[in-house]
């Protein structure tokens, strides 16, 4: 099968190959790209990890993962067998130079062959593994390294990771994944803004009242408590995913659809975020932690119990009222909100326009609703624009808000590829546009860190909320104090 975006020859080495990310996301994504005809016959996938497996074990694990994580895809036996033959396993201790030499001998594709090193492992290994790769001569001009978030715990540790990785690989061959950037609907934000004449002239403080960015999840911590309890929602979601979404909404039009042109504009937004200091924390942020509650009719435990940490003070919910200090956005709040164990899984960006300046329909004052653009990132991907319309029929000029709705499922039939499929092939192509540059990561930490420090200094417990709700009541209070409300369905 041929693919319109080309097919490629490469080797990919997945560190942490038997871990959750590898089996849940990377193996299925590579399989689907194989089925789509993007992997040439010579593509090889090397799983490396500390555990003592062999090729057969790894193949069995991968096939089980396809069945488990691609249930709707009806994995075809012939395609799965062909895919499995690409898989190899090698034991590797991240600290053992000999293991890297053996890896080099197995790869043996020459310095020209595209080789992707995917570090699906804890960030403390990023620097040491890259150093060992370089020492073994595995950082040729055709080699790329992929890092999963989080990059560090704070600014200093992020800089240390960036420096250590940067000593082994040049920036253009370091791919820092933020999988939100690989989501179709997130890429579509750029199409919406810059391929339509309609929005850009209105995209500023004169017409836009405020923006809401919500990433709501129903799931809890799902066996990741060791990581999550150190991170919390601010580091896990806001520092990366939500800020990247904010950047795509707020950035100036890049002059070209090129990696650095786009990333330069995003960086300017991050640098323009107005700092939130300790005195403002209580009025501009809310931290929450879920207690027991009900999701889909089933009773679920609170975070402390689920994570097995009775005294935890980690937040599972955050609201931040952010502001971008530029001519375009001064005074326009960006309400960022994310949480686990909320009522629904729903990610949306809501752009709330100002009311019309003069209302000539005297009877309609009560029914007037300012325009609202809702970009549904997941699920039910699409865009709707709330418009005022005349109610048909007699009775005078009665007005009502009605949505103009674009559903991606209706407009574009077929499967929406997973973010990792797109991102993995972009690494192979050497296109870093949808990856975070080192200065973006550091600028994001620079804004987030004082809030984390302020919370730690205040030593307050996060505000409790019941699992299955929309977060602590303080989250509603924060926006309502400004005379605004969260988008309906998400209150
Ligand atoms: C990850 C976070 O980056 O994103 C998880 O570490 C979170 O905690 C996940 O659940 C959400 O991603 P998605 O694609 O399911 O919205």
DSSP notation for 300-365? E--HHHHHT-TT----SEEEEEEEB-STTTTT-EEEEEEESSBSS-EEEEEEEEPPPS----GGGG
Token duo for residue 312: 């935890």
pTM (2 decimals)?
Answer: 0.95
Distance 198 CA to ligand 1 centre (A): 32
CA distance 346 to 384: 15
Cα(24)–Cα(68) distance, rounded to whole angstroms? 8
First to last CA, the chain: 47
Q: Tell whether residue 25 is among the known ligand binding residues.
A: no
DSSP 24-56: IIIHHHHHHHHHTT-B-TT-EEEEEESS---HH
CA of residue 256 to ligand 1 center, whole Å: 30
**Who's near 395: CB < 8 A, 6+ residues apart?**
none
Which is the closest atom of ligand 1 to the Cα of 221? 8
CB 304 within 8 A of CB 479: no
Q: Are 110 and 6 in contact (CB under 8 A)?
A: no
- For Cα atoms 112, 117, 118, give the angle at the middle one, nearest 5 degrees: 150
The phi and psi torsions of 486 (rounded to 5 degrees) equal -65, 150
Please, are residues 8 and 114 in contact by the beta-carbon 8 Å criterion? yes
Distance CA 333, CA 453 (A): 22
Question: Does 274 count as an annotated binding residue?
Answer: no
CB-based contact 43:11 (threshold 8 Å): yes
Tell me if 11-178 shares its fold with 183-490. Answer: no
- Work out the percent of the chain whose per-residue pLDDT is above 90: 86
pLDDT at 109: 76
Contact predicate 200/193, CB 8 Å: yes
Q: Is 241 a catalytic residue?
A: yes
β-pair partners for 354: none
CA–CA separation, 441 vs 345, rounded Å? 26
Q: Best mutation site among 236, 339, 417 for ligand 1, i.e. most ligand atoms within 8 A of its Cβ?
A: 236
- What is the 283 CA–ligand 1 centroid distance (Å)? 27
Ligand 1 pocket, residues with Cβ under 6 angstroms? 217, 236
In this structure, which residue's CA is closest to atom 9 in ligand 1?
Answer: 237
Tokens encoding 105: 């001998």
User: Could you identify the residue written with the tokens 């620097």?
Assistant: 127
Report yes or no: 272 and 325 within 8 Å, Cβ to Cβ. yes
The CATH class of the 11-178 domain is alpha beta
CA atoms within 13 A on the CB side of 223: 3
Half-sphere exposure of 421 (CA within 13 A, CB side): 18
Whole-angstrom distance, CA of residue 224 vs CA of residue 65: 18
Please tell me the predicted confidence (pLDDT) of residue 1.
45
Active-site residue, from 241, 358, 413, 487? 241
CA distance 140 to 154: 30
Which regions in the chain score pLDDT beneath 50? Answer: 1-2
Check the annotation: does 236 bind a ligand.
yes
Q: Are 248 and 264 in contact (CB under 8 A)?
A: no
Residue-level pLDDT at 414: 77
Architecture of domain 183-490: 2-Layer Sandwich (3.30)
The full set of domain ranges for the chain reads 11-178, 183-490
Confidence (pLDDT) at 2: 46
């Amino acid at each position: 099968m041929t693919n319109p975006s080309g097919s490629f020859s490469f080797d990919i080495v997945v560190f942490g190959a038997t871990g959750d990310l590898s089996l849940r996301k990377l193996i299925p994504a590579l399989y689907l790209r194989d089925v789509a005809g993007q992997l040439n016959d010579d593509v090889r996938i090397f799983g490396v990890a500390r555990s003592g497996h062999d090729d057969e074990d790894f193949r069995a694990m991968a096939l089980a993962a396809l069945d488990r994580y691609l249930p709707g895809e009806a994995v075809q036996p012939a395609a799965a067998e062909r895919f499995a033959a690409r898989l190899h396993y090698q034991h590797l201790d991240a600290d053992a130079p000999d293991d890297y030499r053996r890896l080099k001998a197995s790869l043996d594709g020459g310095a020209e062959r595209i080789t992707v090193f995917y570090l699906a492992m804890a960030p403390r290994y990023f620097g040491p593994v890259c150093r060992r790769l370089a020492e073994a001569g595995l950082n040729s001009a055709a080699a790329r390294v992929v890092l999963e978030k989080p990059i560090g715990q704070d600014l200093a540790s992020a800089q240390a990771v960036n420096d250590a990785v940067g000593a082994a690989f040049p920036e253009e061959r370091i791919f820092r994944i933020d999988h939100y950037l690989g989501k179709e609907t997130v890429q579509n934000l750029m199409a919406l803004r810059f391929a339509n004449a309609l929005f850009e002239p209105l995209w500023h403080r004169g017409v836009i009242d405020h923006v809401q960015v919500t990433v709501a999840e129903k799931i809890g911590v799902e066996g990741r408590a060791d990581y999550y309890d150190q991170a919390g929602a601010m580091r896990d979601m806001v520092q990366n995913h939500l800020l990247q979404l904010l950047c795509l909404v707020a950035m100036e039009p890049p002059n070209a659809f090129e990696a650095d042109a786009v990333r330069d504009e995003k960086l300017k937004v991050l640098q323009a975020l107005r700092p939130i200091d300790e005195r403002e924390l209580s009025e501009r942020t809310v931290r929450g932690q879920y207690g027991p509650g009900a999701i889909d009719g089933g009773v679920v435990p609170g975070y402390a119990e689920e994570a097995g940490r009775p005294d935890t003070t980690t937040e599972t919910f955050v609201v931040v009222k952010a502001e971008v200090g530029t001519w375009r956005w001064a005074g326009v709040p960006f309400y960022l909100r994310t949480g686990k164990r909320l009522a629904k899984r729903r990610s949306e960006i809501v752009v709330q326009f100002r009311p019309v300046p003069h209302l000539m329909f005297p009877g309609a004052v009560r029914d007037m609703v300012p325009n609202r653009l809702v970009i549904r990132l997941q699920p039910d991907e699409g865009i709707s624009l709330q418009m005022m319309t005349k109610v048909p029929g007699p009775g005078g000029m009665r007005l009502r808000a009605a949505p103009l709705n674009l559903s991606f499922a209706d407009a574009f039939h077929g499967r929406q590829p997973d973010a990792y499929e797109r991102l993995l092939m972009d690494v192979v192509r050497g296109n870093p546009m949808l990856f975070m540059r080192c200065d973006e990561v550091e600028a994001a930490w620079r804004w987030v860190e004082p809030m984390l420090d302020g919370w730690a200094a205040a030593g307050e417990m996060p505000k409790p909320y019941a699992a299955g709700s929309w977060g602590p009541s303080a989250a509603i209070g924060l926006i309502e104090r400004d005379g605004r409300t969260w988008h309906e369905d998400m209150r």
